[in-house]
A and B are shown apart, each in its own frame.
Chain A
């Protein structure tokens, strides 16, 4: 059923692209302002989409100009993903998309369609056991204030899935896209080294 719906949506979008002129002129007909967030999409992507978040399919109404961080936090209630700078300069919004750590504030939700999105909420197992990186963060007292921690953990998880036995320098480099204003960097690195030692 879901597969069928996806196929027809894809065909619909292809149809829109192919039948261009009619689709774009309707914007003038309905007097849609380019600057309004109440905008009705008249061409391009369809707003009602399915996202795969933390292993579940979530149906959600996504604006064309909506970033993944906005969708996760304000449409799906997954507020573990933090918004720090909203400019790809702090790393607090780091999530995994197909296992790769990215800034959710600088990715359009529509670009993440048909991909596996993992947030901090999706790391613990269904029986409530924390991910080894999360447990190691607690055991090593990794975080100080904790605001950047979800992003740091997501970057560490991405690293350890590619490189289960990193050196301290490799960890440092892998976490270099995540700012910590408390300066708890060494504590975070200690925690990631401990998680690697224990094995994932």
Chain B
């Protein structure tokens, strides 16, 4: 790990979204958008990725802040994770989100790390990050899915040449809350549901989201659908701070007359996208919450899981997290 300067680039600090989009279309694939910068600068410092033109969005104030709307809330993509964690409306009505952001990385990273940056972060795989020519880097092999490959952090589902997982703690919470991603480009705005925003290697191996070149995630809309639901978030990682999840779980639920009337669950770090646990939802909806329901749900949760050499432990881990989420 060199402690020298990053390779030189030209830095642009636009003060409006329009200017940022104009720069992005002018420089095309030679440009790189920086939000908080923690993921970006690691790539540059390690000489693994390089961009000639860096567009820093920190001065674009219109992308910052949390607003209440009639349909719910809207969070600007450049809002810091700390601001989301401490926001009163989110703590009262969407505590799943404040719990999830509070477990991301470390305090200093949350102070400048943004929700947009978190949701758009790149895959965490030792080999990919080391700069080898793996599938995700445009090459023709996978170094993690080999007999001696270190893959205890990797996926249980959705392997398609690449076996890396979605490393975000916030993404599964967004899927559970039925959030909508608002994406801007020179052609205007488009909206994509959180569940469709993240894509696996079978769709495009070189990116993790539907964001196309020239596009920027500008805000996230969270509808009233799950406001004030019973929420559960838990993250298991090797360390309590800084670390990425081994598995995390998000749940929103309403109980009426002693039975679960509505439930939505998703797990992170088990697939390249946040994994919606639809089968669990089907098992649990309409049932009372008891040990039998939890047991059935935990068995349903792991259907089709295909472990690699060193990540079998994620199967009982996910099962136990599902049980804990249904006991709480």
A interface residues (Cβ-Cβ under 8 A, vs B): 13-14, 17, 20-21, 24, 27, 33-37, 39, 41-45, 63-67, 70, 83, 85-89, 91, 94, 100-103, 106-108, 110-111, 155, 173-174, 176-177
Contacts and interface: CB of A to CB of B under 8 A. Distances in A.
Contacts of B56: 108, 110-111
Contact of B38 (A35, A36, A106): A106
A88 B38 contact: yes
A64 B1 CA distance: 21
B107 A17 contact: no
Contact of B58 (A20, A86, A111): A111
A45 B108 contact: no
A176 B239 CA distance: 11
B5 interface: yes
A65 B11 contact: yes
Query: Chain A binding site: helix, strand, loop or mixed by DSSP?
Result: loop
Interface residues of B, number: 42
Contact of A107 (B2, B11, B106, B112): B112
* Chain B, interface SS category: mixed
Interface in B49-66: 50, 52-54, 56, 58
Interface stretch (B39-47, B133-141, B247-255, B286-294): B39-47
Given A24-B26, A37-B5, A108 B107 contact: no
B9 A45 contact: no
B214 to A, nearest CB: 15
Contacts of A83: 3
B221 to A, nearest CB: 27
A27 B108 contact: no
Q: Would you list the 7 A-B pairs with minimal beta carbon distance, nearest first?
A: A177-B106, A64-B11, A176-B241, A39-B8, A177-B108, A44-B12, A34-B52
A87 B45 contact: yes
B12 A43 contact: yes
Contact of A45 (B12, B38, B41, B44): B12
Contact of B109 (A20, A65, A88): A88
